[in-house]
Amino acid sequence: MTKNKIWLATGNRNKVKEAAEVLAPYGIRLEHFPLERVEIQADDPADIAIYSLSMVKEDLPICVEDAGVSLDRWGGFPGPYSSYVLERLGNHGILKLMEGESKRKAYYVSVIAYRDTSGVRIFRGVVDGEIAHSIRGAHGFGYDPIFIPSEGDGRTFGEMEDAEKNAISHRARAFRALAEWLTQI
């Protein structure tokens, strides 16, 4: 059941761009399905993604991705509240709350809920890192200018080209897992 075209339902074009670049080498084309997601409140991003996916009634091979950043020092917050926190505080506000804090470990999580005629499947990706002391870089989106991946060279995702972020990002890992599953069956 190899698929060479799938849809990503999202209101965020950056996600589509990043995911499309990851899927292309597998011969899978990604189409944008514009959707302003209504997000339920849940601890597990898989539950949030599955709910959003259930709102899409079209009979297409389609997925929803729920992502977020979690800070160890804050017990995993904001996690599923990442959009809300970014909207209300912005990266400046987060840095202000983190002022003087030496424990800055964080991780990004991406969870994809994918549906086709065989049902719904979940794919996950994680990238570890830490919160920077200042906002750096104009690439990427969201939390990227304050997130320094552990596997990098000290730059934030905001300071990296798309391809560099895609080599190690949570989203790339989740979409590679999806692509491997799609091309193996």
Task: Please list the active-site residues.
Answer: 66
148: contact with ligand ITT by CB under 6 A: no
Task: Check binding of 171 to ligand ITT (CB under 6 A).
Answer: yes
Residue 119 burial by CB count (10 A; 0-12/13-18/19+): exposed, middle or buried?
exposed
**115 is an interface residue for ligand ITT by CB under 6 A:** no
83 touching ligand ITT, by CB under 6 A: yes
Beta bridge partners of 66: 111
Residue among 16, 50, 62, 67 that touches ligand ITT (CB under 6 A): 67
Task: Considering only the stretches 22-30, 117-125, 136-144, 176-184, report the one whose residues sit in contact with ligand ITT under the rule CB under 6 A.
Answer: 136-144
Binding-site size for ligand ITT (CB under 6 A) equals 18
Sole window of 21-29, 54-62, 129-137, 138-146 interacting with ligand ITT (rule: CB under 6 A): 138-146
Contact between 125 and ligand ITT per CB under 6 A: no
Structure tokens, 22 = 């990851």
Q: Are 54 and 31 a contacting pair, CB within 8 Å?
A: no
Which residue's structure tokens are 């950043």?
Answer: 69
Decide: 91 and 136 in contact? Cβ < 8 Å: no
Identify which of 11, 34, 9, 32 has the alpha carbon closest to the alpha carbon of residue 20: 32
- C-alpha distances (whole Å) from 8 to each of 54, 67, 70, 130 are 13, 13, 23, 28
The dihedrals phi and psi of 118, each to the nearest 5 degrees, come to -85, -5
Residue 10 engages ligand ITT in binding (rule: CB under 6 A): yes
* 11 near ligand ITT (CB under 6 A): yes
Distance between CA 118 and CA 103 in Å, rounded?
44
Shortest reach from residue 47's CB to ligand ITT, in Å: 13
User: CB under 6 A: which stretch of 53-61, 91-99, 130-138, 142-150 binds ligand ITT?
Assistant: 142-150
Query: Which residues make up the interface to ligand ITT (CB under 6 A)?
Result: 10-12, 15, 37, 66-68, 82-83, 86, 140-144, 169, 171
